[in-house]
Amino acid sequence: MRNVGAVLTVSNLFNEGVMTKLSFILIAWKLLKAFSEALPLFQIRFN
């Protein structure tokens, strides 16, 4: 039973790591999208 607990712990850590990476990628993607949408406004303002 000890091995099962260890495997569950490892899989939990792995899942948390994957979720953290996915949420980080999602946030980065949203920031990038917002920035690319705001870029034309900046260009118009500087022209």
Structure tokens at 19: 């979720």
Q: Give CA 6 to chain center in angstroms.
A: 27
> What is the C-alpha to C-alpha distance for residues 5 and 17, in angstroms, rounded to an integer?
18
Helix (H, G, I), strand (E, B) or coil at 47: coil
Q: Per residue in 1-47, pLDDT tens?
A: 678 888 888 888 888 899 899 999 999 999 999 989 888 887 777 76
Q: b vs e for 9-37, b when ≥16 Cβ sit within 10 Å of the residue's Cβ?
A: eeeeeeeeeeeeeeeeeeeeeeeeeeeee
pTM of the model: 0.55
